[in-house]
């Protein structure tokens, strides 16, 4: 939907009033490689999508916040004096979490009418929630009068809202990609230092195809926190050999080969092995993509999937079917699950002239095995959060 159409829906729902109507947006993301490494101080390599959350917003002077989404009938209402009270909302809790966190960080939080329009599929592992959080943070900071918005700060605040308000101890990747993305670039981000590099993605005759399992991610949150705790246990054990390490991102594959045996619990050892090898795959991926070695990048993607499936154990049957079917198609260089896992999407590197066949065959075979349809998107790498 165009801004013009959204503005007319906004006026229809919230009525005419004084005050400027402003438009903000922030995208979802696809992670090219580097899964579950972010909260371990490792590297990730996500890109912002052109699928995004758009917010039409107008400031109010009475401290009341009213919000609606184009795909939901009801309006939620809150007050800036009582931001902690909306955790149980089925929709709107992410936004209130962000507003609360902004306030705690000294940002102005003002009353507002806000209409939300999402094009990132919900619960699909493409960070529709980061898109909502980051767009809300940018919009509220701007309505509050901040002229020059610090996007990295908006990403951090959005992440903290997820920890404190939603109860998921997520890493920084999704919010960072949503806040800092750049058209046709992926972000090589060191999650320990937040140093980053924008790497142009020129895929010479290939495209990234996203396949959505359309399976809702039910157990994802509790399993996510469980994996995080397992990694922390592994880190504590490795510290007995390497007292200076502060996160698994500090551990090289050589260090793990030498002292990984100290971790006696096989499950924890597998989790740690995944993180350390995945981190190395990210670094290698950036190198090979800079050199335009797409075949090797494809192999790294597939290796990442195998590791997420067998070592980190966050894949699921539906994701594995999509990857296995993808790899049978001519012109596919690599395929992997993307995001937290347990459902959501895969990303595959597919030669342009093979995409139609990819969608047809992977789609048919998926439906035959699973009983419902997958969805496919050709991913366009878009810009990060901003006022339009």
For binding to ligand GLA (CB under 6 A), which residues are involved?
35-36, 38-39, 170-171, 173-174, 339-340
Residue closer to ligand GLA (CB basis): 35 or 113: 35
- Active site (annotated) includes residue 62: no
Residue closer to ligand GLA (CB basis): 83 or 173: 173
The answer to whether residues 63 and 80 touch, using CB atoms and an 8 Å cutoff, is yes
Cα(94)–Cα(189) distance, rounded to whole angstroms? 24
Min CB(38)–ligand GLA separation in Å: 5
Q: Kindly write down the DSSP assignment for every residue of 256-283, as one continuous string.
A: HHHHGGG---HHHHHHHHHHHHHHHHHH
The answer to whether residues 234 and 272 touch, using CB atoms and an 8 Å cutoff, is yes
The answer to whether residues 112 and 176 touch, using CB atoms and an 8 Å cutoff, is no
Min CB(110)–ligand GLA separation in Å: 28
By three-state DSSP, how is residue 303 classified? helix
Min CB(173)–ligand GLA separation in Å: 4
CB atoms inside a 10 Å sphere around CB 214: 18
Min CB(293)–ligand GLA separation in Å: 24
Q: Kindly write down the DSSP assignment for every residue of 147-159, as one continuous string.
A: SS--HHHHHHHHH
Please identify which of the residues 174, 190, 250, 279 carries the catalytic annotation.
174
Residue closer to ligand GLA (CB basis): 35 or 230: 35
Side by side, the strands of the sheet bearing 332-338 are 332-338, 345-351, 206-212, 375-378
Residue closer to ligand GLA (CB basis): 10 or 39: 39
Catalytic site positions? 174
């Amino acid at each position: 939907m165009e801004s013009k159409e959204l503005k007319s829906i906004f006026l229809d729902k919230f009525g005419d009033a004084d005050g400027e109507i402003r438009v903000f947006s922030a995208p979802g993301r696809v992670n090219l490689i580097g899964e579950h490494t972010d909260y371990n101080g490792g590297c990730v390599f996500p890109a912002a999508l052109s699928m995004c959350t758009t917010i039409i917003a107008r400031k109010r002077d009475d401290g009341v916040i009213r919000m609606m989404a184009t795909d939901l009938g009801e309006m939620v209402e809150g007050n800036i004096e009582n931001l902690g009270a909306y955790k149980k909302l089925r929709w709107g809790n992410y936004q209130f979490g962000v507003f609360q966190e902004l306030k705690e960080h000294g940002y102005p939080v003002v009353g507002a009418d806000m209409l939300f329009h999402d094009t990132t599929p919900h619960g699909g592992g493409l960070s529709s929630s980061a898109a909502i959080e980051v767009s809300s943070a940018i919009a509220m900071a701007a309505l509050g009068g901040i002229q020059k918005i610090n996007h990295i700060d908006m990403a951090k605040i959005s992440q903290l809202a997820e920890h404190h308000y939603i109860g998921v101890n997520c890493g920084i990747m999704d919010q960072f990609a949503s806040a800092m993305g750049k058209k046709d670039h992926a972000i090589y981000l060191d999650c320990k230092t937040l140093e980053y590099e924008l790497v142009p993605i020129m895929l010479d005759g290939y495209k990234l195809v996203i396949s959505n399992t359309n399976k809702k991610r039910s157990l994802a949150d509790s399993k996510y926190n469980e994996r995080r705790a397992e990694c922390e246990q592994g880190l504590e054990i490795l510290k007995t050999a390497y007292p200076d390490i502060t996160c698994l991102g500090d551990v090289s594959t050589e260090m793990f080969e030498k002292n990984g045996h100290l971790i006696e619990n096989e499950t924890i050892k597998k989790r740690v092995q995944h993180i350390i090898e995945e981190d190395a795959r990210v670094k290698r991926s950036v190198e090979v993509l800079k050199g335009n070695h797409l075949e090797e990048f494809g192999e790294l993607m597939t290796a990442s999937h195998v590791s997420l499936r067998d070592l980190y154990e966050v894949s699921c049957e539906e994701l594995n079917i999509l990857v296995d079917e993808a790899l049978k198609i001519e012109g596919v260089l690599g395929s992997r699950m993307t995001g937290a896992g347990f459902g959501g999407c895969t990303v595959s590197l597919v030669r342009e002239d093979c995409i139609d066949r990819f969608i047809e065959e992977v789609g048919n075979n998926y439906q035959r095995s699973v009983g419902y349809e997958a969805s496919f998107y050709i991913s366009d790498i878009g810009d990060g959060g901003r006022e339009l």
